[in-house]
A and B are shown apart, each in its own frame.
Chain A
């Protein structure tokens, strides 16, 4: 059976990307658990590394949310859930955004507090197989190892996210970025401490936390907007989704259509579109024409399936606020 999102059957490319994404997220879970174990082993009594494993635990949330949501969205709509289960992705996106934001805030509060209090982080020796080694070298070693998988996994997810229009995957890629950036910051911080700069670790952590907080905030905001049925945005939340405009252009291209407009909300991967057309000279087209036009719109992209096409006397501007120029509040 072809994989599906609700009653949307996925095209070859998307089906392939989904299988790959699920595999990537499972690997991410395994790698993260491995990382947490490794960090705990060298953490010893050091406070700096304890913070690192709390962050890694937060990094478990986006892949978990993705894998759980991926189970739900396959289900077809039911009488009780007429719009299907697509919103599971929206919920997972919200969870991921919150995880990123909390991680950034934790990092900045924790390091900021240490810097203000003037905490001088102690890093002593650790006995490994009978040999005392400066724990800093162990931390640098472990952090160089744990920084590599998130770089690779994050890049692979960034490639898949636009293909699937998957905002959870996108947020998780940014979680991976946060992971490897904190790992590098820890390396810089530990080396700095080794040089006698007690503030190095805290300063490096604050530098990267600013970036993580920004990513977390952007994802949280985009997730909340989608759940509140805001105008659909691209997978990175950077701008309006071009598909609704494509639908309108397709509608306008029909010879019997005089005016056309649509509103669309992002259900998760797929869009829910309500489109309105005003026929030329107010004449009703043959029903076969209307059906064919709807089919053409649905054929534009796999993400368009749930499309309601209404033939109306004039465009209902209470349903289409963009006609009144009531746009700016969207941003």
Chain B
């Protein structure tokens, strides 16, 4: 092997090392995973836009004022922890999912389960609670967030899991 090719390899090795080090350094930072559209950064001290579709006891938009239910309560806690103002958007599931896909809202709540078909429009979180249906089958409940906003998604998932809701009675 001549010196030039050895040099080239070592330089490439160093570049690779630098790249890995850069990735690891980023990994140690608080922003890993990061949001391509910066949702989590934006809501800190800003506004969290939440779509709600009526699905008691998870969500209830029948009251005059703000939505109530298990999920709006969870979202309010999350918003408080991140110093965010809440902007509620009540609507049907399809309308809200389209808005989520277009990035006009940040998340959707509405008693969604992990078998929800909206996976092309939304990213479904990991299940944070369960419920037992009338036929005895167990449903795993999830929240929908804008797809690819992974820092926001992970923060919301950690928050929801920390509530340790377990099985919610209908």
27 contacts between A and B (CB under 8 A): A45-B119, A119-B148, A120-B36, A121-B147, A121-B148, A122-B147, A122-B148, A122-B149, A123-B150, A124-B125, A124-B153, A126-B126, A132-B157, A132-B161, A134-B32, A136-B33, A191-B23, A193-B33, A193-B148, A193-B150, A194-B27, A194-B34, A194-B150, A195-B23, A196-B34, A196-B35, A197-B36
- A179-209 near B? 1/0 per residue, CB < 8 Å: 0000000000001011111100000000000
Q: Is B104 positioned at the interface, with any CB of A under 8 Å from its CB? A: no
Q: Is A127 positioned at the interface, with any CB of B under 8 Å from its CB? A: yes
| C-alpha gap A126/B150 in the complex (Å) | 13
Interface residues of A (CB under 8 A from B): 44-45, 119-127, 132, 134, 136, 191, 193-198
Are A127 and B150 touching (Cβ within 8 A)?
no
CB-nearest residue of chain A relative to B162? A132
B82 to chain A, nearest CB (A): 17
Are A120 and B161 touching (Cβ within 8 A)?
no
Are A124 and B119 touching (Cβ within 8 A)?
no
Q: Is B93 positioned at the interface, with any CB of A under 8 Å from its CB? A: no
Q: Is B48 positioned at the interface, with any CB of A under 8 Å from its CB? A: no
Are A123 and B119 touching (Cβ within 8 A)?
no
Are A196 and B36 touching (Cβ within 8 A)?
yes
Top 3 A-B residue pairs of the complex, sorted by shortest distance between their CB atoms: A120-B148, A122-B123, A196-B34
| Further pairs besides A123-B33, A123-B150, A124-B154: 5, Cβ < 8 Å | A125-B158, A134-B32, A194-B26, A196-B35, A198-B36
List residues of chain A with CB within 8 A of the CB of B124.
45
Interface size on B, residues (CB 8 A): 26
CB-nearest residue of chain B relative to A130? B161
Q: Is B114 positioned at the interface, with any CB of A under 8 Å from its CB? A: yes
| C-alpha gap A196/B23 in the complex (Å) | 12
Are A45 and B114 touching (Cβ within 8 A)?
yes
List residues of chain A with CB within 8 A of the CB of B119.
45
CB-nearest residue of chain B relative to A121? B148
Are A196 and B114 touching (Cβ within 8 A)?
no
Are B157 and A124 touching (Cβ within 8 A)?
yes
| C-alpha gap A123/B26 in the complex (Å) | 17
CB-nearest residue of chain A relative to B33? A194
List residues of chain A with CB within 8 A of the CB of B126.
44, 124-127, 132
List residues of chain A with CB within 8 A of the CB of B154.
124-125, 134
List residues of chain A with CB within 8 A of the CB of B32.
134, 194-195
Are B158 and A132 touching (Cβ within 8 A)?
yes
List residues of chain B with CB within 8 A of the CB of A198.
36, 148
| C-alpha gap A121/B154 in the complex (Å) | 13
Are B153 and A122 touching (Cβ within 8 A)?
yes
| C-alpha gap A124/B35 in the complex (Å) | 12
B141 to chain A, nearest CB (A): 14
Instruction: Say yes or no: A120-B153 contact (C-beta < 8 A), given A125-B126, A125-B161.
Output: no
CB-nearest residue of chain B relative to A194? B33
Are B33 and A196 touching (Cβ within 8 A)?
yes
